[in-house]
């Protein structure tokens, strides 16, 4: 379910980029998502770049970018970053259950329709297979600034990474120094 939301997030941001203008805000503005982590196979994630207009999902997964959108159906702000490694990519998503500055706790026991969440998918293939799926179970996301064109904030927490290919397994996942500063694409088209 969480992986499905992450790829819906990517597809929605890509769809919004395809319908956006070439202004200095929105889809063609450059954004960043970065954090340090322990667990799975790495130590850091850093996506920086613009999501070009008329980008397909396949092209987006082969590009490095960071962007965000507001989902008015559930009052959430959704931030994503993708780092291309050629035939695979690493994709991070941040879901914030509000469209306002503030602090939002991440909790594994959240029972609302939209919960604060940070997820990382490592080694995503063009067929959307994922080698590692990481999610925070506890922590905090802070929106420090939000306007009609951009969102900035920080995040950190602890959780787990599940390896979805042999040898399989679960490792602890700790995220520190998380930050995002991305263009905000408002009212993206529904998919």
Q: What is the pLDDT of residues 163-191, one digit of tens each?
A: 998 889 999 999 999 999 999 875 443 33
- pTM of the entire predicted model: 0.85
pLDDT in tens, 56-97: 777 778 889 998 988 888 999 999 999 999 899 999 999 999
| Phi and psi, residue 10, nearest 5° | -60, -50
Closest CA to 173 of 152, 148, 146, 155: 155
The mean pLDDT of the chain is 83
Question: Strands (DSSP E) along the chain, which ranges?
Answer: 31-38, 44-49, 65-71, 76-84, 89-96, 102-107, 117-124, 132-146, 150-163, 169-185
Domain layout of the chain by residue ranges:
2-185
Structure tokens, 2: 């969480």
Per-residue pLDDT band at 18 (split at 50, 70, 90): very low
């Amino acid at each position: 379910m969480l992986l499905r939301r992450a790829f819906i997030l990517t597809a929605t941001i890509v769809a919004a980029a395809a319908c956006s203008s070439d202004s200095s805000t929105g889809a063609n503005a450059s954004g960043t998502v970065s954090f340090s982590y322990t667990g799975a196979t790495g130590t850091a994630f850093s996506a920086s770049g613009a999501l070009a207009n008329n980008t397909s999902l396949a092209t987006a997964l082969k590009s490095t970018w960071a962007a965000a959108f507001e989902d008015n159906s559930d009052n959430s702000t959704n931030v994503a970053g993708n780092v291309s490694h050629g035939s695979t990519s690493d994709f991070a998503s941040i879901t914030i259950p509000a469209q306002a500055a503030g602090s939002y706790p991440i909790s594994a026991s959240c029972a609302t329709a939209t919960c604060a969440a940070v997820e990382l998918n490592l080694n995503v293939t063009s067929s959307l297979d994922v080698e590692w799926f990481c999610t925070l179970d506890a922590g905090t996301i802070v929106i420090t600034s939000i306007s009609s064109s951009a969102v900035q904030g920080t995040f950190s927490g602890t959780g787990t990474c599940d390896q979805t290919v042999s040898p399989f397994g679960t490792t602890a996942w700790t995220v520190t120094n998380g930050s995002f500063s991305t263009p905000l694409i408002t009212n993206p088209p529904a998919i």
